[in-house]
Chains A and B, each alone.
Chain A
Amino acid sequence: MNDIVLSDAKSGSALFQSIWQTVVDGMIVINHLGIIQMVNPATLKVFGYTEEELIGKNVKILMPNRYSSEHDQYLSNFMGGGPNKIIGIGRIVEGETKDGQEISMYLAVSELMVGDQVCFVGILRDLTEKVRAENDILRAKEEAERANMAKSHFLSSMSHELRTPMNTILGFAQLLQVTDENQIKYELYQEAVQHILKSGDHLLNLIDDVLDLSKIEAGIIAVSLEDIDVNEIVDECIDLTKFTATSNNIKVVFKPDNKGKTFIHADRGRVRQSLINLISNGIKYNREDGSVTISFETLDNGFVRIKVTDTGYGIPERQHEKLFIPFDRLGLENSAIEGSGVGLAITQKIVRMMQGDIGFSSTPDGSQFWIDLPAGNINNEMEVTSQEIEGVIGEAGKKMNGRILYIEDNPSNIALLKQIVQKVYPGIVFDSCISAELGLEYIQDHPCDMIFMDINLPGMSGIDAMKCLERLYRDLPPVVAITADVSKLTISKIKKQKFSEMLAKPINLLETVEVLERYL
């Protein structure tokens, strides 16, 4: 049947025409000089040209610049018997569309004679999407392999780091064990105990840091953002690093900016952790009688930059890229300076969790580390006037007495609630503790009539503190949860506990008084 159709010149030509017009692949015919003779609609669709725009043009028009410049030479070489790169073979090549997009296509070229003229027919198929998808997969695979490598590297470094203090602990313990009890020299005994304790402490710090790092990496840790006074938190951190500073003989100086109060919007506990980390690094890696200076500035991009500058020996350029890699202590592994090598890795991760960033610059005269955190809103006047309170409540509550405890690490919140309570109920004793641990201790000695509990506390969380309270006391006074983190996760965690009420930060006068009236 086919034979009959093809043997008929007229219907053969009609058949060719309809194939040419409808075939899915692009077809293009050029002469021996590379001039386009024919293009089919599929080709036009791929490249976005009209037929008129292509016929009579050099085929180079369909190639990216870097190839088109070589095409003439290649074609004339081939005509002169030179090497063949594509004719009769077919491979993936790059093309360029009318609007300048580069595309990947499979191109097969065959050579034929029309009369005494050499022509070339190219058949092409657009593979751009396929090639892009393949490249994406390849990239994802490489990324996964890199992550996997990093993970194994992390694990083997961690194993190495944990084994080092273990060697000291077990070494001395075994020595005590194998030495005849009556022959143990007091010096050996003393030395062993001292080293076991010291290495034990080091090991514990290491474990805490590793746990913290992996929790952050697993995304288990939530940040609870609030507006924090920069002066206040820096002062607090300097206070907490005082012991390290004095024992290393390093002066820690704070140069506050005197333009009034500056606030950052961040997680209090995590900012504290980051700053303490940078300050203690500055103290530890300093020169004798050196100093650490803390300052800050508001940037144009809506961030506040807190800078910690030391007078140490600086970090050699070649080690800069290793700075944030866990366990890499840049060759200081054996120095007398203690550290897990995880601090900066943790700091970088938590700063980024708060939408901030960390960076540094270093010269042989010292290094400066900075963290940028989103600027916060300057808290509205925290003062509550008597008139405001009068407006909210009559005389009824004023005769009340009893004891209220507020467990909260943020001093401004304590001050605010204290004002409210003291103005509305002058007879009530108001006390506060800055951690859940201290709060639990306080309650043992001071029975309370009502407890306000912040949820995001340093150390034990408000949720865990509530669990302890439930276990410890059968007749629990009303406990009100106060949180700045109103994410679904936190709220559902709060609701699982037996809190009487939940208040969202910022503390609202009316709501607070209502809660006090209801439960006192």
Chain B
Amino acid sequence: MKFLYVEDKPMNTRVLRLFVEQLWGEDLTSVETAEEGLDLIGKEDFDLVFMDINLPQMSGLEAIRYIKNKLNKTTLPIIVVSAATDTNVIADAYESGCRAFIKKPVNIMNFKDITERVLKTDETIAVA
């Protein structure tokens, strides 16, 4: 499995990396900006992308739109992981094309459940 995490806060990346190692024994590739993320997604094939929203320049949601519309990776599953809790923001996230929205602080069991469902099915999973 190849996972990519686009997140600017090192502590959040550290926690998610440990989660991924603990749950599936997999490695997590991470970048700190949406721009770097797009660059990498253009070059490599990932099985799943975790995306933060509040990023330094381009936002995570703009990045998702770019991935879907410009990079034509329409089937690449993307899970938004964000501390934003505004219903508008959550609605915008689903509209941009993410498959699931995980709220920070991340619950490890919820994270496991949602990630596995996104990988196994094509369904979009409502926010918990």
A residues sitting closer than 8 Å to B (CB atoms) are 156, 159-160, 163-164, 166-172, 174-175, 178-179, 188, 195, 199, 331, 333-334
Q: Which of B10, B16, B56 contacts A331 (CB 8 A)?
A: B56
* 11 cross-chain CB contacts under 8 A: A160-B54, A160-B83, A163-B85, A164-B83, A164-B104, A166-B104, A175-B108, A179-B22, A195-B11, A333-B9, A334-B8
B16, B18, B85 — which one has the most chain A CB atoms within 10 A of its CB? B18
Flag if B15 contacts A171 (CB, 8 Å).
yes
Cα–Cα distance between A174 and B103 once the two chains are bound (Å): 15
Q: Which residues of A contact B105 (CB under 8 A)?
A: 163, 166-167, 169-171
CA distance A168 to B18 in the complex (A): 11
A interface, by DSSP: helix, strand, loop or mixed? helix
Which residues of B75-110 have CB atoms within 8 Å of chain A's CB atoms? 83-86, 103-108
How far does the Cβ of A382 sit from chain B's closest Cβ, in whole Å?
A: 52
Determine whether the beta carbon of B107 is less than 8 Å from that of A174: yes
Q: Using a CB-CB cutoff of 8 Å, which residues 1-59 of chain B contact chain A?
A: 8-12, 14-16, 18-19, 22, 32, 54, 56
Asked if B22 and A167 sit within 8 Å, CB to CB, the answer is no
Could you tell me if A175 and B84 are in contact, using CB atoms closer than 8 angstroms? no
**Which residues of the other chain, B, contact A159 by a CB distance below 8 angstroms?**
83, 85
Q: How far is the CA of A179 from the CA of B22 in the complex (A)?
A: 8
Cβ-neighbour of B9 out of A156, A164, A172, A331 (below 8 A): A164
How far does the alpha carbon of A476 sit from the alpha carbon of B106 in the complex, in Å?
A: 52
CA distance A333 to B10 in the complex (A): 11
Residues of the A chain whose Cβ atoms lie less than 8 Å from the Cβ of B32: 334
Alpha-carbon separation in the docked complex, A238 to B14 (Å): 36
Minimum C-beta distance from A167 to chain B (A): 4
**Chain A residues closer than 8 Å to B22, beta-carbon distance:** 175, 178-179
Known contacts A160-B84, A175-B108; A167/B56 CB under 8 A: no
How large, as a class, is the contact surface on chain B? 20 to 34
| Residues of chain A lying within 8 A (CB to CB) of residue B56 | 331, 334
Q: Are A156 and B19 in contact (CB under 8 A)?
A: no
Q: Is the CB of A167 within 8 A of B12?
A: yes
A449 to B81, CA, bound (A): 62
Taking A160-B83, A334-B56 as contacts, is the C-beta distance between A174 and B108 under 8 angstroms?
yes
Q: How far is the CA of A196 from the CA of B16 in the complex (A)?
A: 15
- The answer to whether A171 touches B18, judged by C-beta atoms less than 8 angstroms apart, is yes
Query: Which residue of chain A has the shortest Cβ distance to B16 in the bound complex?
Result: A171
A197: shortest Cβ distance to chain B, in Å? 13
A171 touches B84 (CB 8 A): no
> Are the C-beta atoms of B18 and A175 separated by less than 8 Å?
yes
Complex Cα spacing A212 to B18, Å: 36
Please give, as numbers and ranges, the residues of chain B lying within 8 Å of A164 by CB-CB distance.
9, 11-12, 83, 104
Q: Which of A164, A167, A179, A333 has the most CB of B within 10 A?
A: A167
Bound CA span A88–B8, Å: 66
Q: Is the CB of B15 within 8 A of A168?
A: yes
Contact A168:B86 (CB < 8 A) given known A174-B107, A174-B108, A175-B108: no
Do B11 and A156 touch (CB < 8 A)? no
Q: Which residues of A are found within 8 Å of B19, using beta-carbon distances?
A: 171, 175
Q: Which of A167, A169, A171 contacts B83 (CB 8 A)?
A: A167
- Nearest-CB distance from A331 to chain B (Å)? 7
**Contact of A156 with B107 in the complex, beta carbons under 8 Å:** no
Chain A residues with Cβ below 8 Å from B16 are 171
Which residues of chain A have C-beta atoms less than 8 A from B85's C-beta? Answer: 156, 159-160, 163
- Complex Cα–Cα for A129 and B15 (A): 63
Q: Complex formed: what's the CA distance from A156 to B103 in Å?
A: 13
Distance from B50 Cβ to chain A, minimum over Cβ atoms (Å): 13
Q: Which of B16, B19, B22, B104 is packed against the most chain A CB atoms within 10 Å?
A: B104
Query: Please, which residues of chain B bring their CB within 8 A of the CB of A199?
Result: 11
**17 extra A-B contacts, CB within 8 A, seeds A156-B84, A164-B83, A168-B12:** A156-B86, A160-B54, A160-B83, A163-B85, A164-B9, A164-B12, A164-B104, A167-B11, A168-B11, A170-B107, A171-B16, A172-B18, A178-B22, A188-B18, A331-B56, A334-B8, A334-B32
Q: Once the chains are docked, how many angstroms separate the CA of A156 from the CA of B87?
A: 11
9 smallest CB-CB distances across A and B, nearest first, come from A171-B15, A163-B83, A167-B105, A166-B105, A170-B105, A167-B104, A174-B108, A160-B83, A168-B11
Q: What residues on B are CB-neighbors of A171 within 8 Å?
A: 15-16, 18-19, 105-106, 108
Q: How far is the CA of A179 from the CA of B108 in the complex (A)?
A: 12
Q: Which residue of B lies closest to A162 (CB)?
A: B83
A174 to B110, CA, bound (A): 12
Cα separation A443 to B8 with both chains bound (whole Å): 51
Q: Is the CB of B11 within 8 A of A178?
A: no
When chains A and B are docked, how far (Å) is the Cα of A156 from the Cα of B120? 34
Residues of A within 8 A of B8 (CB): 334
Residue from B10, B15, B54, B84 within 8 A of A167 (CB atoms): B15
Question: In chain A, what residue has the closest Cβ to B103?
Answer: A163
Q: CA separation between A171 and B19, bound complex, in Å?
A: 8
Q: Which residues of B contact A172 (CB under 8 A)?
A: 15, 18
Q: What's the minimum C-beta distance from B8 to chain A, rounded to whole angstroms?
A: 5
Find the B residue at minimum CB distance from A188.
Answer: B18
CB distance from A492 to the nearest CB of B (A): 42
